[in-house]
């Protein structure tokens, strides 16, 4: 997945990469590991195979937030330390 992000930002010059999921465990953990930031939750937006509505979690990563694997990201470090205010959906 890191290689895909590198390709999108470095070769394709993407402005933003985003993802959405209903899985709050594995998928959200992967998105965070990739450096994505939660942008919002659409309540009861998606429907499971059983017909039950569930929340849809939205994550994104902007070009200016992207750092190749192994580099630190001051912006995300400052968010995690509570030094920046994140918008609440």
**Using one digit for the tens of pLDDT, what is the confidence trace for 30-87?**
999 999 999 999 999 999 999 999 999 999 999 999 988 755 555 455 555 555 444 4
3-state secondary structure of 31: helix
pTM given for the model: 0.72
Contact 41, 73 (CB under 8 A): no
Q: Residue 82: its pLDDT value, please?
A: 55
Residue spans of beta strands (DSSP E) within 1-89? 16-21, 37-47, 53-62
- Average pLDDT on 8-23 reads 94
What architecture does CATH give domain 2-80?
A: 3-Layer(aba) Sandwich (3.40)
Q: If you ran DSSP here, which 8-state letter would residue 73 be given? A: -
Q: What is the mean pLDDT of residues 20-25?
A: 92
């Amino acid at each position: 997945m890191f290689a895909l992000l590198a390709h999108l930002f470095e070769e394709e010059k993407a402005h933003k990469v985003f993802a959405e999921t209903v899985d709050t465990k594995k998928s959200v953990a992967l998105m965070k590991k990739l450096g994505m930031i939660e942008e919002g939750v659409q309540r009861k937006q998606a429907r499971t195979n059983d017909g039950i509505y569930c929340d849809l979690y939205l994550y994104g990563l902007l070009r200016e937030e992207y750092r190749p694997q192994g580099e630190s990201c001051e912006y995300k470090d400052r968010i995690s330390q509570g030094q920046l205010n994140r918008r609440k959906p």
